[in-house]
A and B are shown apart, each in its own frame.
Chain A
Amino acid sequence: MQAAFAALSSIVSWFANILDPMCGPIGIFRLLASDTLLSCGDTGWGDEIAYGFMITASLAICTLPVGLFFGFFIALAKQSEEKSLRLATNIYTTIFRGLPELLTLFIVYYGLQIVAQQVMASVGYEGPVEINAFIAGMIALGVVFSAYCSEVLLSAFKAIPHGQYEAGDALGLHRGKTMRLIILPQLVRIALPGLGNLWMALLKDTALVSVIGLPDILRQTGVAARVTKYAFEFFSIACLLFLILAMVSSLVFSALERWTKRSEVAR
């Protein structure tokens, strides 16, 4: 069993290596930049930067579902008839849309550390407690994303006419089924451009996590810049990588938009 698992994981990593767009056998750094500062391996910074790229992308991709999930329920709570629920969620969005992302990140990072330290101290452990920068970044960015996301989804909810819910009732569907079969498909269609903007903002905000020590694109290029003294070149590469991420995601989003609109009449 163990051996099978190890074999499987080695096959997966072999495939990932082959398909690695930067340092794989057909990666751009390997093909275009061997024997330069960007080569892969011990002499160049290509593999470090490629690692940072993966970290940035995976942080954004891990944050997205969390933010979407909470954002959806906050949007539901914001249009509920219950006053206390609306008040509580409005406080949430006011705070997290008003605070700078960097400050949210610091508050989450250091605040979690203090809380964790006190919890551990009450259990009897007195050593230093360190919070994983990836987790802290995910929480901070997810909280900010969900606050913005709830506003986008709320306005999308408002754009869906009341008759749609009534049609669901008339068909005898219960609440969850109405939501899933009637409301959600329309919601996605309306909210997608706004969500695309939020995704771009999230992608850019991940650069902030380098400040608390996560080795993302910006941190890796920053280290390379400090060591080699080619600051302009390396930060230009960082900008270029972020631009590539933005371009790829705008392609994905326009494809998604076309896919969600496939049932509409061609104009």
Chain B
Amino acid sequence: MSHAETMLPALPPPPEALRRYTLSRLIGRVALGIWLAASVGIFLFVVESWSPEKFTKYGPSFISGLGVTLTLVSISIVLGGILSLPLAYGRMTKNKVVSWIAYAYVYFFRGTPLITQLFLVYYGLGSFRPYLEAVGLWSLFKDAWFCALLTFTLNTAAYQAEILRGAIQSVPRGQHEGAAALGLPKRVAFFKIILPQAMIVALRPYGNEIILMIKGSAIVAIVTVFDLMGETRRAFSRTYDFQMYLWAAVLYLVMVEMLRNLWAWIEMRLTRHLKR
């Protein structure tokens, strides 16, 4: 019976693998350096031109602008969602006339810039002032905020209809057939089987659409609505202080990033039964 009396001496750790200084590392360091320099430069610029007086004067108006942006986007997303239901139905129906109308609507609103649509509604409908006054709608249509809301609703309805249609059509045919084999009526099968699966597919595009609307809503500043961008432009035109735009940029970035992370969390939570 023999056994080792002494333990083997511990080996020294292997030598550190020689990591070569690659070109990509150099470029990466340089790029990070540029970002760092830019952020330090912006910070110094803001500190240098900082004045508490401007902050107390324009800070509250930025917050109210943020409120206008958020109300405008949320109302138009909800109304557009409601309007998108008949549109999505129209896109999927076999009736030629209805589907052609829905297609033309979606093509128009997705094919032209939002700002052109806004001008068409805000300035263009002004040409019909006598008719609008006759039906008593002129007080609505001369209000830029209402015109923006109308345009955004019509625009996002077109996009949301396409999202909804794509999601519903992405559910495999076997699901319909399975429901039919179980003897479920069409309506029950749609609401209990097709729609829940479609909504999971549609979740991410819906999030993207909300982000696009938040970003797109900046253009209402051009038609004199004082949203975040409008307040920024007003503050800039009074002070000629470039940091106003930087504050707006920070606010927009925070908004978009919060929404993106929230959406990632919702998606993770809702699809946890699909993870393996």
Complex: how many Å from CA A205 to CA B27? 31
| Alpha-carbon separation in the docked complex, A243 to B214 (Å) | 24
Find out whether the CB atom of B221 lies under 8 angstroms from the CB atom of A102: yes
What is the bound-complex CA distance between A106 and B214, given in angstroms? 17
Whether B124 sits at the interface, judged by CB under 8 Å, is yes
Query: A184 within 8 Å of B by Cβ?
Result: no
Using a CB-CB cutoff of 8 Å, which residues 3-38 of chain B contact chain A?
Answer: 22, 24-25, 27-29, 31-32, 34-35
Question: A109's closest neighbor in chain B, by CB?
Answer: B245
Q: What residue of chain B has the Cβ atom nearest to residue A238's Cβ?
A: B116
The yes or no answer to A159 lying at the interface (CB within 8 A) is: no
B24–A82 contact, CB under 8 A?
A: yes
B215 at the interface (CB under 8 A from A): yes
Distance in angstroms between the alpha carbons of A94 and B257 in the assembled complex = 8
Q: Decide: B127 and A231 in contact? CB cutoff 8 A.
A: yes
- A246 to B116 CA separation, bound complex (whole angstroms): 14
Residue of B nearest to A240 (CB): B112
CA distance A24 to B131 in the complex (A): 38
Q: Residues of A within 8 Å of B, CB-based: how many?
A: 50
CB of A208 within 8 A of chain B? yes
Please tell me if A114 contacts chain B, counting CB pairs below 8 Å.
yes
Q: Complex: how many Å from CA A242 to CA B113?
A: 8
* C-alpha gap A100/B108 in the complex (Å): 22
Give complex CA distance A59, B135 in Å.
43
Report yes or no: B253 in contact with A98, Cβ–Cβ below 8 A: yes
The reply on B111 being an interface residue by CB < 8 A is: yes
Stretch at the interface among A11-19, A119-127, A132-140, A222-230: A222-230
Tell me whether B115 and A218 are in contact (CB under 8 A): yes
Tell me if B126 is interfacial: C-beta within 8 Å of chain A: yes
Specify which of B123, B216, B242 is in contact with A114 (CB 8 Å cutoff): B242
Given A84-B28, A231-B123, are A99 and B242 also a contact pair (CB < 8 Å)? no
Contact between B32 and A103, CB atoms less than 8 A apart:
no
Choose the segment among A37-45, A85-93, A162-170, A255-263 that binds chain B (4+ C-beta atoms closer than 8 Å): A85-93
Q: Quick check: is A7 within 8 A (CB to CB) of the other chain?
A: no
* Candidates B116, B119, B222, B252; contact of A98 at CB < 8 Å: B252
Q: A88-B28, A218-B115 are in contact. List 20 more A-B contacts (CB 8 A).
A: A77-B28, A85-B24, A85-B25, A88-B32, A89-B31, A98-B256, A98-B257, A100-B215, A102-B229, A103-B218, A103-B232, A103-B249, A110-B245, A111-B242, A205-B113, A218-B113, A218-B116, A222-B123, A235-B116, A238-B112
The 7 A-B residue pairs whose C-beta atoms are closest, nearest first, are A85-B28, A84-B28, A88-B31, A232-B124, A100-B218, A207-B113, A204-B113
Mind listing 15 A-B residue pairs with CB under 8 Å? A77-B27, A81-B24, A89-B31, A98-B252, A98-B256, A100-B214, A103-B218, A111-B245, A114-B242, A207-B113, A218-B113, A218-B116, A232-B120, A235-B120, A242-B116
A residues in contact (CB < 8 Å) with B:
77, 80-89, 91, 94-95, 97-103, 106-107, 110-111, 114, 200, 204-208, 210-211, 218, 222, 225, 229-233, 235-236, 238-239, 242-243, 246-247
